[in-house]
A and B are shown apart, each in its own frame.
Chain A
Amino acid sequence: GAVVSQHPSRVICKSGTSVKIECRSLDFQATTMFWYRQFPKKSLMLMATSNEGSKATYEQGVEKDKFLINHASLTLSTLTVTSAHPEDSSFYICSARDLRGLANPNEQFFGPGTRLTVL
């Protein structure tokens, strides 16, 4: 089955630093990747939609200059949290859509998530 990986799985950083999270589709090509954030005991909140080779589309209320998304290839999207602060501490999850989407019922595959802690 289709696999999405994220790296790192956990990261602790100091306030003011930037953190990059990678999302890779391992055995399929993903035209579109999505980034979610999840706070404890809350549901996943969509942050942005990332299309390969074009600028990401951010959801309302998500700062595009703080959460930089790059989707340079069909298998890799990165989320960079710039000048991280403690309130950015969260569980970040990516997902990817298979290019074959219409024929594949399991159309959205989720990564295992990255736990970010900002001190």
Chain B
Amino acid sequence: DAKTTQPPSMDCAEGRAANLPCNHSTISGNEYVYWYRQIHSQGPQYIIHGLKNNETNEMASLIITEDRKSSTLILPHATLRDTAVYYCIVSWRTSYDKVIFGPGTSLSVIP
């Protein structure tokens, strides 16, 4: 079973920040939080990951609460091409650990 819970769907106005929440209250100390997204009929795409600290890359920012029980993915200026299903995943950082997908959040960016 997935170890995370996310809202099933969200809307965001184009150009605005999209804030996607994720709860992972049973996360263990060595597990990372990963975010992937899947645009319709394509394979998932890695976005960002983190352990404790907030992280930022060219795609997004990841804010992890101090107790690590929840996180928020931020797309600072959403575009229509960001419309996708976003998956928050908790996983060990090894080559052998499997990734279990939950239902994710379907983000619709509206013009």
B83-111 Cβ-contact flags toward A at 8 Å (1 or 0): 00101000001111011111110000000
A105 contacts B42, C-beta separation under 8 Å: no
Closest chain A CB from B101 CB (angstroms): 4
By secondary structure, the B interface counts as loop
A34 contacts B99, C-beta separation under 8 Å: yes
Count A-B pairs with CB separation below 8 Å.
61
Closest chain B CB from A78 CB (angstroms): 17
Given contacts A91-B41, A113-B43, contact A107 B101 (CB under 8 A): no
Closest-by-CB residue of B relative to A110 is B43
Given contacts A43-B102, A49-B98, contact A113 B93 (CB under 8 A): no
Indicate whether A25 reaches chain B with its CB closer than 8 angstroms: no
Residues on B with beta carbons closer than 8 Å to the beta carbon of A24: none
Given contacts A93-B44, A101-B94, contact A108 B99 (CB under 8 A): yes
Residue from A32, A34, A99 whose CB has the most chain B CB atoms within 10 Å: A32
For this complex, 18 residue pairs linking A to B, each with C-beta atoms less than 8 Å apart, are A6-B43, A31-B96, A32-B95, A36-B101, A42-B103, A43-B87, A43-B102, A43-B103, A44-B38, A44-B101, A49-B96, A51-B96, A95-B99, A97-B96, A98-B95, A102-B93, A110-B36, A111-B43
User: Contact residues of A with B, CB < 8 Å?
Assistant: 4, 6, 31-32, 34, 36, 42-46, 49, 51, 91, 93, 95, 97-99, 101-102, 105-113, 115
